[in-house]
Structure 1
Amino acid sequence: MAGQLQRELKKRKPFESAEAEALLNLLRTADQFQNRIGRFFREFGLTNSQYNVLRILRGEGRPLPSLEIASRMVQVVPGITGLIDRLENQGFVKRERCTKDRRVVYVEITKKAANLLAEIDGPDKELHRELIGHLTGKELKELSRLLEKSRKSLPSDNNAP
């Protein structure tokens, strides 16, 4: 009997392995969630990555070096400078070069961005409930545990910018 993913993909033959099926399931789910999340943030004039930068800065509560922000991103962004440029052009962040080391640029969230994040917070929580709120608390903890365990096979520097 074909599994749901096999039916969705209209795959005639079974998957070559349980690993292949699980990985494709993960990739398909991530793609569908990313599409939905991307549409959500576009409603607020942001990309997923821009939102991530603003959340990092709001959570830290102080300016951070741009490379520190890059290291904390959920998804690796190859062009952190360009991303911060766009946020600065929108009035969401300010930059200041470090006086002790001119190579370091500190990025600070603006009041405008903090207000936008406050506006997004409620709808964002609702989106989370829409996407995975049908899972129980126990299932969510197990899902997180399994995903974290899966990432252990990756090199430790996999999130390096």
Structure 2
Amino acid sequence: MSDNLSLKAFVVLMKASKSLQEQVKKDISNHGMKTSDFAVLEALYHKGKQTVREISEAVLINTGSITYVIDKLENKNYVERRHCSEDRRVVYIHITEEGKQIMDEIFPKHQKVIEQMFNGVNSEELQTTINVLKRVGQKPSNQ
């Protein structure tokens, strides 16, 4: 019985994830961006300077693809690369003032879209969802 519930929970989660991703993609494209561009900018906007590897891990995109995205964002003057003064092999990606301005404009609207997706779900239910998904996501795959 619990196996059937686990399978059902998995299917519902995957369908919900797909629906949420489609809504987010549509919202971001309404602002003239691709999801990967927005994800990189959002990571830098909220966390400050990061290495390519740190960005890659934060937004779950491989480092080869992230480099391409960063190149595009750099060409738009939204981000810039700066060498670390202590170790020249390390390059940090910084959001520029122009990048901050675009995110100051876009992010609050994007946040409202996400909040609307969870309209009708109360705070307690949201916290329970967060806790359950964290536990499920932390389990080793061989269990």
Task: Provide the TM-score with structure 1 as the length reference.
Answer: 0.76
| Deviation by residue 1:87-140 (Cα, 9 ceiling, x = unmatched) | 112221011234554442211101111111111133122212220121001000
Matched, 1:57 2:57: no
**Greater share of helix:** 2
Deviation at 1:17, TM superposition (A): 1.7
Which of 94, 100, 110 in structure 2 is aligned with 1:124?
110
Q: Which position in structure 2 is the counterpart of 1:7? A: none
Aligned AA (1:21): K
Aligned AA (1:80): I
Runs of 4+ in 1 over 3 A off after TM superposition: 97-103
| Deviation by residue 1:58-96 (Cα, 9 ceiling, x = unmatched) | 2233x32111222222xx202221121121122210112
Aligned AA (2:6): E
Which piece of structure 1 moves more, 100-109 or 87-96?
A: 100-109
Q: Which position in structure 2 is the counterpart of 1:8? A: none
Matched, 1:147 2:133: yes
Query: Number of residue pairs matched?
Result: 137
Matched, 1:44 2:31: yes
Percent of paired sites with the same residue: 25
SS state at 1:108 partner? strand
Distance in 1 separating the partners of 2:140 and 2:31: 34
Over the residues paired in the alignment, what is the CA RMSD in angstroms?
A: 1.8
* Residues 1-161 of structure 1 aligned to structure 2 (within 5 Å): 17-61=4-48, 63-73=49-59, 76-78=60-62, 79-98=65-84, 100-154=86-140
Larger Rg: 1
| Deviation by residue 1:30-50 (Cα, 9 ceiling, x = unmatched) | 111101100111111222222
Task: Provide the TM-score with structure 2 as the length reference.
Answer: 0.85
Distance in 2 separating the partners of 1:154 and 1:46: 35
Distance in 1 separating the partners of 2:76 and 2:19: 28
